Amino acid sequence: MSSSPLIIGLTGGIASGKSQVCKTFVELGITVIDSDQIAKDLFDINSPHLQALRDKFGNDIFLADKYLDRKKLGKIVFSNPEQLLWLNTFTHPLIYDEIKQQLSSTSSSYVIIDIPLLIDSKGDISARFAELIDRVLVINTSEENQLKRLLLRDDISSEQAHKIINSQSSLEQKLKLADDIIDNNGSIESLKTQVEEIHKKYLLLIQIS
């Protein structure tokens, strides 16, 4: 058995069900590293990285209490590919470094890293993550279901929801790079069952590696 954990890169479009999948892995005793949460923590009110965002986007992306207005920032970058590229280029190395730090302290037999933007809009995985992860796990969700869940979950317009979805890699691009697939077009019970089956698969892969 390898001394280092098997590292799974979990990805899927926005509102594809990543949170529920991660919750189920946690219930199975597996460490989950949430890159979205890392990004939020990196840009908390006391973060030294906020100044770079202020310099780039101005004071309008901050609330009266000086917290980052993530919805306003999202409207800016998802409407402007160049701004989105700048933000991703700035934040991704910071997120990667924190992921590496968290990996160094885990004792889990395998680790799930939830990375929504693991596969970019060109259909590629960045070199740093390609070297880090062992397998890619993709959540397969139709765009129709994504839209329904996104509009129900977030206070945004249908137009904004389409912009967010279209700014990400397509489902076809994700599935092309998938080692494992979870279908989330059905019930929560079906989703949990699939996670449990993949969990067994990963434990078996660890035993024979």
Instruction: Say if residue 150's pLDDT is above 60.
Output: yes
Go through the domains of the chain in sequence order and give each one's CATH number. 6-45+80-208 (3.40.50.300)
* pLDDT score recorded for residue 3: 62
User: How many other C-beta atoms lie within 10 A of the C-beta of residue 112?
Assistant: 28
Instruction: Say if residue 195's pLDDT is above 60.
Output: yes
pTM of the entire predicted model: 0.87
- Per residue in 138-148, pLDDT (tens digit) is 999 998 998 88
25 Cβ contact list (under 8 Å, min separation 6): 32, 112, 195, 199
- Per residue in 79-110, pLDDT (tens digit) is 899 999 999 999 999 999 999 999 999 989 99
What region does 164 belong to: left with phi over 0, alpha with psi -120 to 50, or beta? alpha
